[in-house]
A and B are shown apart, each in its own frame.
Chain A
Amino acid sequence: MIYADNAATTRTSPAARQAVLDTMDRFWGNPSSLYAFGQEAAEVLYQARADVAACLNAKPQEIIFTSGGSEADNQAINSAAAVGKRKGKNHIITTPIEHHAVLHTVEKLAKEGYEITYLPMDASGIVKVEDVAAAIRPETCLVSVMFANNEIGTIQPIAEIGALCREKKIPFHTDAVQAVGHVPIDVEAMNIDMLSLSGHKFHGPRGVGALYVRRGAPLVSFIQGGAQERGHRAGTENLPAIVGMAAAMKDACAKIAANDAYVSTLRDALIAGLSEIPHGALNGATAPRLPGNVNFCFEGIEGESLLLLLDDKGICASSGSACTSGSLDPSHVLLAIGRPHEVAHGSLRLTLGEDNTMQDVEQIIAAVKDVVTYLRGMSPVWKELEKGERNYVI
């Protein structure tokens, strides 16, 4: 099997697995308990918090552990919205290519009377800082721009947006689920006020994530109960998963430069190989782009059948086709960067990691070429394109 869907989830690293098991075996006490055995667990929890914080250049007390990236996004945005409302501010700026954890949260807030500005988006898949500046109003209570896109891998100008928001004194949140452990992040230098991350995107366990919140930024708690996480998230801490995530994050952050050099070489070879397929095109700018992300549209075919046939050849990939999502519309990201529906249906996302090899890349290129040719051979759309009865889009 060639696993090329690392944006969906990643293999749990041996270090993370070991950390989970050790915590289960040795530190199963409740960190809130007063006796020494409970306090040992509290020590382990503190160390995990310190490790996660260090990877972001944050302070341990600025880290809130959550059930994952979606919860962190929900809490960050709803908190900023609630705080804004108290000050009479009800305007939120975000992008049309956010993950649904952000988009659906702001859509819910829109129904409650908040005004949402979706920043302009072009084929590059990267927002412009001047567009953020132009969108800011006196009543803006939050700017939320993802660090790197989960579908097309484009990296946003986070430091520039952070500096702008700092200057304008507007809270700035970034969904960094795809970026943490893959690109360097410094919440101080980048002026990030809130940041969401998820353990299983960098070889940690799933069901665990974190929200970084700059000290002093008010947070609303959505789970009422005990005083865990400094009162911001009730419930006994999922210590094994938290410690596993911290181990994976420490590992991933230590290897960012080496992994980036290796994985981006694989990515560029894959992009070059797939670019040989006629009437196919890379989605989003080549750079800045996550080291492992490759996302193509191929005209005249549909993504789900492409994925099923790649699966038959042992390749795990994903698509922004409507058929793979269970909805009628293809990926909102591909539509936002200007791909028409019929082309967006024929998309393929391959996300590589440090476990992949150049041999994997060669096999993927050969398999995708075969499958695209085969599916085009039975596609009435492709036939019309070839006959000139329909115009090529790409």
Chain B
Amino acid sequence: MLYSEKVMDHFRNPRNVGEIPDADGIGEVGNAKCGDIMKMYLKIDDGVVTDAKFETFGCGSAIATSSMATELIKGKPLSEALTLTNKAVVEALDGLPAHKLHCSVLAEEAVKAAVKDYYDKNNIPYDATQFCDHDCENCSLEH
């Protein structure tokens, strides 16, 4: 099989699909030309991610990594959600084929983009270097 049972489970029964209409932070990454877009919605209360939902256009692993990422950050403090790495998403899914690892990077970036959106909307100061600026050639983030 191309995918692990965990990946197939999260693909077939994705957790937290949909939109949060009054989301506090929304992050969208990827582009349709490349074949995957992830949109992450976060509800944040008192520095804690109280709800997370996603919408994804993409392949099986794009859907599964989005689903797993929302599961991994729900109920966690923002500081912890920000430390979510693509590797953690891959491990939680029992691995991904090498050519699908970029999906897990997108999932990590979608979470971060949503948190950044929350910070920006609420004028909360943050360290900009921890967010992807989509300058892949000079990337210092370990993903």
Contact = CB atoms under 8 A, between A and B. Distances in A.
Interface stretch (B58-66, B82-90, B112-120): B58-66
B101 interface: no
A292 interface: no
A332 to B, nearest CB: 15
Interface residues of B, number: 26
Interface in A296-335: 300-305, 308-309, 312, 321-324, 326, 328, 330
A378 B33 contact: no
Given A301-B57, A302-B59, A326-B99, A378 B17 contact: yes
Given A312-B12, A341-B32, A342-B32, A380 B55 contact: yes
Counting chain A CB atoms within 10 Å of each CB, the highest count among B36, B55, B59, B62 belongs to B59
Query: A-side binding surface: helix, strand, loop or mixed?
Result: helix
A309 B63 CA distance: 12
B35 A381 contact: no
B59 A381 contact: no
A382 interface: yes
A328 B34 CA distance: 7
Query: B-side binding surface: helix, strand, loop or mixed?
Result: mixed
B59 A378 contact: no
B37 interface: yes
A304 B59 contact: yes
B56 interface: yes
B77 interface: no
A382 B57 contact: yes
List the 9 shortest-distance A-B pairs measured between CB atoms, nearest first: A342-B32, A323-B59, A304-B59, A345-B35, A380-B39, A379-B57, A381-B57, A341-B33, A380-B55
Interface of A: 300-305, 308-309, 312, 321-324, 326, 328, 330, 340-342, 345, 378-383
Given A305-B63, A342-B35, A345-B35, 13 more contacts: A300-B57, A302-B35, A302-B58, A304-B60, A305-B59, A305-B62, A308-B60, A321-B35, A321-B59, A323-B59, A340-B33, A380-B56, A382-B57
